[in-house]
Structure 1
Amino acid sequence: MRDTAVALTAAGIDNARFEARLLLAHAAGLSIEQLIAHGRDATPDGFAAALRSLTARRIAREPMAYILGEREFWGLPFKVSPAVLVPRPDSETVIEAVLSLMPDRGRAWRILDLGVGSGCLLLTLLREYPQASGVGLDVSNEALAVARQNARALGVSGRARLVSGDWRQAGWSERLDGPFDLVVSNPPYIDSAAIEGLMPEVARFEPRLALDGGRDGLDAYRLIAAAGPELVAADGHLVVEVGEGQAVDVKGLFDMAGLTPLAPWKDLGGIERVVPAKQ
């Protein structure tokens, strides 16, 4: 653990000792608790080679979630791969906003997730609303495969329809069997020129299609806003994650589309992270 932490620190990685412990546990095939309980046991065969390989990947700044193959979101385990964005705590603000706006957990809500990725938003909401059903749209078949795996693991595959589609193509929204009581999305919102300046874990490894929001970062919101009146049922909600400083512009797009923007929700860092709107 000491040597691994030193190597990670030299690579400029924060929380090096914590990450070293995660790599040790993964290399040994143990949980963190098992690693602590059996820390003085002899290492299993192949452990050293496995640890060196994992450490080299992290030193190259591959996201820890991709190395471990999993990331927790809303207290639930989600499989991840380089085909999907790594679920982030900021996105849990979407879940918080929805649960506040739609407090009836027993309703058979119809939910649409645009850019479903790993499924962290849609599948978490299906767990919170046990009578709900949902559709998840993504342009990446590899991402849809990850989402299907997570839907099965979380026991909601029977209520989740995961479909391939591209909101940049004409008529994309007409094939989704709307309208929906709730539409959620964490769309690409980084302006194209800024991506290379992001942390290496993001710029080098996460799927660019899920990051690149165009020249001003708002391309996806324009398409979502334009389709909103068709996709959102009467008295339904549209709830999207936004980047720092984008809330005002996204509210304006929703307003121009004929939707009624609601007060933004702030994440734990105090940033306006979620913009809801009502039909």
Structure 2
Amino acid sequence: MLIGQALGWASKVLATAGIDTARLDAEVLLAEVMRVDRTYLFSHSQDVLAGDQEELFRIWIYRRYQGLPVAYILGKKEFWSLEFLVTPAVLIPRPESELLVEGALERTARAGPTPLIAEVGCGSGAVIISLARELGRGRFYATDSCPFALWIARQNAHRLQVADRISFLRTDLLRGVIGKGWHGRFDQVLSNPPYVPRQEVRSLPREVRLYEPRRALDGGEDGLYFHRRLLPEAICLLKPGGYLLMEIGQGQCQAVLSLLDEEKALAEVEVLRDYRGIERVVCARKG
């Protein structure tokens, strides 16, 4: 089969599954099979695929046809211009979550020379690892309740050479950190908690609903179950002047701001918008 024929066939197959990015997905998968960049596919469309390449490409297209996300097929996803290992044990990192990294970096200037930062629900470790690489200093803690997610996060930390500065803890939210007696010592607490309202989980796109971990999506009845639980724990760990940064879902901003208003220890609330203009990250400083 020629490269051009393979792309045409795969695009049609994926389109019949209702995949909007059928052509792009086909190109990304074939480029990975051949270990070339996508531009090579266009300039060599008349080249013949090797037998093992065609076989693997067909397998991957079948998996994508079934709904498995491209990131899980390839076992990797780019975030903050870094490559992270991903499996169905972790949520696939989204571009909008880079706002957590941006917001944290903007606020570390007010911290000391070795900031102490925690991420709650680290998943693949994309946020805390990206932050650790950017800062080049400080001490970091990352928590998750899933041992398989923590294994992936540790692998990513080793691959990206920050494992010596990040401690990974299996715990519920921040309980394992609070148990160490570090009250009032952290400069920042970050989190992208599950925030999809439970009744909306069933209406998520098929590839998200069927393959990404539900525990990383389901935010309870109104989507704010974990935000409510996180607030008092984060306040406990933050030092005066420390920051809490939480990712939120579309349309949840006012509800989250109301929760923050109830916590008298927090002030200077700011809302960051993502590249689509959606209110995505809420920041608050401990007074």
TM-score where L is the length of structure 2: 0.90
SS in structure 1 at match of 2:243: strand
Once the two structures are superposed, what CA deviation does each residue of 1:91-126 show, in whole Å capped at 9, x if it has no partner?
A: 111122222223369831111000000011100110
Identify the residue that residue 219 of structure 2 maps to in structure 1.
Answer: 213
Within 1, Cα distance between the matches of 2:147 and 2:36? 31
Q: Aligned to 2:168, what secondary structure does the other structure show?
A: strand
1:163 is aligned to 169
In the TM superposition, residue 273 of structure 1 has moved relative to its aligned partner by: 0.3
| Length, aligned pairs only | 277
Secondary structure of residue in 2 paired with 1:184 = strand
After alignment, is 74-83 or 31-40 more displaced? 31-40
Give the structure 1 partner of residue 4 of structure 2.
Answer: none
On the 8 A contact 2:108/2:115 being kept in 1, the answer is no
User: Please, what is the CA RMSD of the aligned residues?
Assistant: 2.0
Q: Identical aligned pairs, as a percentage?
A: 37
SS in 2 for 1:151: helix
Q: Give unmatched runs, 5+ long, in structure 2.
A: 1-6
CA distance in 2, matches of 1:148, 1:107: 25
Q: Is residue 80–residue 118 contact of structure 1 (8 Å, CA) maintained in 2?
A: yes
AA at the equivalent of 1:151: A
1:27 to 11, 29, 33: 33
Tell me which amino acid in the other structure corresponds to 1:194.
Answer: E
Q: Aligned residue for 1:91?
A: 97
In structure 2, relative to structure 1, the CA distance for the partners of 1:203 and 1:261 (3 Å cut) is: farther
Would the alpha carbon gap of residues 53 and 222 (structure 1) be closer, same or farther in structure 2, given more than 3 Å must change? Answer: same
Q: Aligned to 2:281, which of 245, 252, 274?
A: 274
Q: Which residue of 2 aligns with 1:185?
A: 191
Deviation at 1:89, TM superposition (A): 0.8
User: Cα deviations across residues 154-197 of structure 1 (Å, max 9, x unaligned)?
Assistant: 110100111100139xx555235533111000000011111010
What amino acid maps onto 1:273 in structure 2?
R
With 7-16 and 33-42 compared, the bigger mean Cα shift is at: 33-42
Establish whether residue 259 from structure 1 lines up as the match of residue 259 from structure 2: no
Residues 254 and 122 of structure 1, relative CA distance in 2, 3 Å threshold:
same
| 1:103 counterpart = 2:118 | no
SS of residue matched to 2:275: coil
| 3-state SS of paired residue (2:251) | coil
4+ long deviations beyond 6 Å: none
**SS where residue 264 of structure 1 aligns?**
strand
* Cα separation, partners in 2 of 1:139 and 1:131, compared to 1, 3 Å: same
Cα deviations by residue, 1:223-258 (Å, 9 ceiling, x for unpaired):
111212211112110101000111222222223222
* 2-structure distance, mates of 1:184, 1:96: 11
Normalised TM-score (structure 1):
0.93
Q: Does structure 1 residue 122 correspond to structure 2 residue 128?
A: yes
Matches of 2:147 and 2:44, distance apart in 1? 41
What is residue 68 of structure 2 aligned with on the other side? 62
* 3-state SS, counterpart of residue 166 of structure 1: coil
Secondary structure, counterpart of 2:114 in structure 1: coil
Amino acid across the alignment from 1:134: F
5+ long unaligned stretches in structure 1: none
Deviates more, 1:99-108 or 1:254-263: 99-108
8 Å contact from structure 2 (residues 111, 187) kept in 1: no
Other-structure match for 1:175: 179
Deviates more, 1:23-32 or 1:267-276: 23-32
What corresponds to 2:147 in structure 1?
141
